Amino acid sequence: MAFDACMMRAVLSEFSAEFPEAKIEKVLQPRNDEIDMMIHHGRTSRRLVFNVGPNAPRLQLSDKQKENPLKAPMFCMLLRKYFLGARITSVSQPGFDRIAEFRVACYDEMGFATEKIIVCEIMGKYANLIVLDDQRKILAALKVIDFASSSVRQVLPGLKYQIPAMADKIIPLEIDGETFFKKLSDFPSERTGEKFITSTYSGIATQIARELVYRACGHTDTPVCNIDPHRFYAVFREWQQLLIDESYTPTVVFDKSGKPIDYSYMDITYLGDNVDKRTYPRLSDMLDTYFEEKDRLEHIHQRAHDITTLLNNAEARTERKLGIQRQSLLDAERGEEYKKNADLITANLYRLERGMASFRTVDYYDESCPEIEIKLDPRLTPSQNAQKMYKLYNKCKTAKTVLTEQIKLWESELRYLDSVRQFLSRAECEQDVIEIRDELYRSGYASRLRGYVPPKKITSTPIRLVTSGGWELIVGRNNLQNDSLTFKVAGKGDLWFHTKDIPGSHVILLCDGEEPSEQDYTEAAAVAAKYSKATGDLVAVDYTRVKNIKKPQGAKPGFVIYKTNFTAFIRPATDEQIAAMKKTK
């Protein structure tokens, strides 16, 4: 659902209950459009997240750790100047809108006590974070809006802060039954109940309106004329009381693949039974669960835009070359036809003359011996025509050998690019992106990484897990790590796992020649299936001792050959299983 005014009310209620007076210990800016404040009260320390990006704007408390840039941006430095060591004394929600105001007791440049206000506006692509002085004059804003950007409302240092104009709607917490029925009777009867709620009352997301209509009549797109007014008001009143009593039920809805598709401060029923719902004790836990993967993908997209462009261009270029070479290989298959024609011309030299455009002869290469017509070059003698055909035959024969080898190389290149894309999709932090960029640089793509300077040192940090039997698993995050784990970290007696003919991580079970249990084998294979491009319920995973793994000379990072292996068909490990293996470490 959209982060509406009701969600803002719920989040601020949770904040006020947990942090009646919070001290700001740190100010961080992990991303261009997000500010995180480490706040402390009593024995509790958490992050206060202001995300004003266009894709997932929100305000929340969080326990998630995030990677921060080595050098803080200017806006972050300004907030540190104002608010490090300051205390949040109160928080409010002006009107019933997606705006939160945090009043902060701090000190000015001269050391005198003063008050500043942090305004967080969660309004889709217009979301912003603004700092005001005690006279409500703008001191700074994460997104500066000048006269060229908007002629209606400017956000510039020095200007007086103006609350965004609210639509002429009713605040839902103040409505009574009489007003509800009057508004419902005046509303066009052919329009849906959902439109009635969203166009009449402020601060209600579309998903919540659908849920209320569904609870009232069992459908989400029912016209107002087909909804029982008293039943509709009873449902609306129940929801209204939920907000007043602050009896929230933080819920995340997942599809069958386990991907979060919706969230709400109340139970969601209109999506039916083909979804999985999970409730959480706190709104912050719900928001962390829903936005964690979305934030990671957005962050990777921002940091790895150059890599994504390089991969797109390289894949398109490679596929284009493959198409040309495959067509040339098909053309080279005519070599045997050239040789047959040359032989037939040679056999009929006695009856051919210069200047003939074609002749007919019996095809002795065919069991039925049909009569065929062979075209000739009238400018050449019959003998020269035969020699020309033999030369074309030899050319096709050579081309088949060369093209077959070239096609293998370009197909290998395409698989390599596919593996890089797969690792990029699983990157968890900026360090992972840096390593992948360096891998492409070392793999011959330096000229396409404009302005790239390879770092002096990259700290490789593979994923480390522990099986139920106590054996350690190490998992490569990229192709360079795969090579390092297999040929430098692992011993000859350790076990190596990898999905069969599918890009993925090298998984090493560190057992030093010993024989783990069948369960340990199963878990290691499931991890290899998880960290790969494989899809489906059962995935083929090859496994063998590391001593059987070889790397061909000149091969791309991550490419190995092996034999004397076994193959297991296994279900990929779930996120919960991976988390449990991390916890047992």
Query: What's the Cα-to-Cα distance from 560 to each of 232, 501, 556, rounded to whole Å?
Result: 65, 11, 9
- What mean pLDDT is predicted for residues 493-498? 96
What is the maximum alpha-carbon separation in the chain? 115
Which candidate, 88, 90, 84, 72, places its Cα nearest to that of 29?
A: 72
Same domain, 258 and 383: no
pLDDT band with cut points at 50, 70 and 90 for residue 584: low
User: Which domain, by its residues, includes 118?
Assistant: 5-141
Has residue 585 got a pLDDT over 60? no
Has residue 293 got a pLDDT over 90? no
Which candidate, 59, 57, 4, places its Cα nearest to that of 208?
A: 4
State which of 420, 453, 485 marks the end of a domain.
Answer: 420
Is residue 405 within 8 Å of 310, Cβ to Cβ?
no
Same domain, 199 and 319: no
Which pLDDT score is estimated for 535? Answer: 82
- What mean pLDDT is predicted for residues 29-50? 91
Has residue 306 got a pLDDT over 90? no
> Domain containing 200 — which CATH number?
1.10.8
Place of tokens 């995180």: 36
Same domain, 177 and 294: yes
Q: Which residues are CB-contacts of 123 (< 8 A; sequence separation ≥ 6)?
A: 57, 98, 164
DSSP 315-367: HHHHHHHHHHHHHHHHHHTTHHHHHHHHHHHHHTGGG--TT-SEEEEE-TTST
pLDDT band with cut points at 50, 70 and 90 for residue 52: very high
Q: Residue 389's CB: how many other CB atoms inside 10 A?
A: 23
Q: Which residues are CB-contacts of 88 (< 8 A; sequence separation ≥ 6)?
A: 19, 21, 22, 23, 24, 39, 102, 103, 104
Residue 441 in any domain: the answer is no
Sequence letter at residue 321: K
Place of tokens 């969230």: 263
pLDDT in tens, 533-570: 988 889 999 999 999 999 998 888 999 999 889 999 99
Contacts 24+ apart (CB under 8 A), 423-429: 423/477, 423/478, 423/479, 423/505, 424/300, 424/304, 424/307, 424/308, 424/311, 425/300, 426/477, 426/531, 427/300, 427/304, 427/477, 428/296, 429/67
Which range among 201-205, 230-234, 304-308, 404-408 shows the weakest confidence by mean pLDDT?
304-308
Query: What's the Cα-to-Cα distance from 41 to each of 15, 101, 118, 236, 389, rounded to whole Å?
Result: 11, 19, 19, 37, 90
Strands 507-510 and 549-550: unpaired
Q: Residue 532's CB: how many other CB atoms inside 10 A?
A: 22
Which pLDDT score is estimated for 486? Answer: 94
DSSP 502-552: S-B--EEEE-TT----HHHHHHHHHHHHHTBS--SS-EEEEEEEGGGEE--
pLDDT band with cut points at 50, 70 and 90 for residue 460: low
Instruction: Look at 166 and 353; give whichever has higher pLDDT.
Output: 353
Residue 166 in any domain: the answer is no
pLDDT band with cut points at 50, 70 and 90 for residue 295: confident
160 secondary structure, DSSP code:
B
pLDDT band with cut points at 50, 70 and 90 for residue 48: very high
Phi, psi for 360 (deg, rounded to 5)? -110, 140
Same domain, 288 and 332: no
- What mean pLDDT is predicted for residues 376-396? 92
Q: Residue 268's CB: how many other CB atoms inside 10 A?
A: 20
H-helix segments, 84-223: 177-186, 193-200, 206-217
Radius of gyration over every alpha carbon of the chain, rounded to an integer in angstroms: 34
Which pLDDT score is estimated for 484? Answer: 92
Which pLDDT score is estimated for 510? Answer: 94
Sequence letter at residue 582: K
Please state the pTM of the whole predicted model: 0.68
Same domain, 203 and 274: yes
Return the SS3 of 170. Answer: strand
Residue-level length of the chain: 585
Q: For residues 37 and 22, give the distance between their C-alpha atoms in angstroms, rounded to a whole number.
A: 11
Which range among 106-110, 120-124, 132-136, 507-511 shows the weakest confidence by mean pLDDT?
106-110
Arithmetic mean of pLDDT over the chain: 89
Is residue 118 within 8 Å of 137, Cβ to Cβ?
no
Is residue 18 within 8 Å of 87, Cβ to Cβ?
no
Residue 440 in any domain: the answer is no
Same domain, 137 and 24: yes
Which pLDDT score is estimated for 449? Answer: 74
Residue 489 in any domain: the answer is yes
Same domain, 137 and 180: no
Which pLDDT score is estimated for 62? Answer: 92
Is residue 290 within 8 Å of 260, Cβ to Cβ?
yes
Can you give 456-488 as a three-state secondary structure string? CCCCCCCEEEECCCCCEEEECCCHHHHHHHHHH
- What mean pLDDT is predicted for residues 411-424? 90
- What mean pLDDT is predicted for residues 6-31? 93
Same domain, 12 and 132: yes
Return the SS3 of 260. Answer: strand
Which pLDDT score is estimated for 541? Answer: 95
Same domain, 122 and 59: yes
Q: Which residues are CB-contacts of 269 (< 8 A; sequence separation ≥ 6)?
A: 211, 214, 215
Which pLDDT score is estimated for 153? Answer: 86
Same domain, 228 and 325: no
Which pLDDT score is estimated for 61? Answer: 94
- What mean pLDDT is predicted for residues 253-275? 86
306, 309, 311, 314: CA torsion to nearest 10: -120
Residue 428 in any domain: the answer is no
pLDDT band with cut points at 50, 70 and 90 for residue 283: very high
275 secondary structure, DSSP code:
S
Which pLDDT score is estimated for 302? Answer: 74
Which pLDDT score is estimated for 71? Answer: 85
> Domain containing 122 — which CATH number?
2.30.310.10
- What mean pLDDT is predicted for residues 244-270? 88
Total tally of structural domains belonging to the chain? 4
Distance of CA 555 to the CA centre of its chain: 29
Which pLDDT score is estimated for 174? Answer: 77
State which of 125, 141, 157 marks the end of a domain.
Answer: 141
State which of 361, 396, 420 marks the end of a domain.
Answer: 420
Same domain, 120 and 232: no
Residue 432 in any domain: the answer is no
Sequence letter at residue 241: Q
Residue 190 in any domain: the answer is yes
Has residue 463 got a pLDDT over 80? yes
Residue 537 in any domain: the answer is yes
Which pLDDT score is estimated for 281? Answer: 93
For the four alpha carbons of 238, 239, 240 and 246, in that order, the dihedral sign comes to positive
Which pLDDT score is estimated for 583? Answer: 59
- What mean pLDDT is predicted for residues 268-277? 87
Same domain, 271 and 212: yes
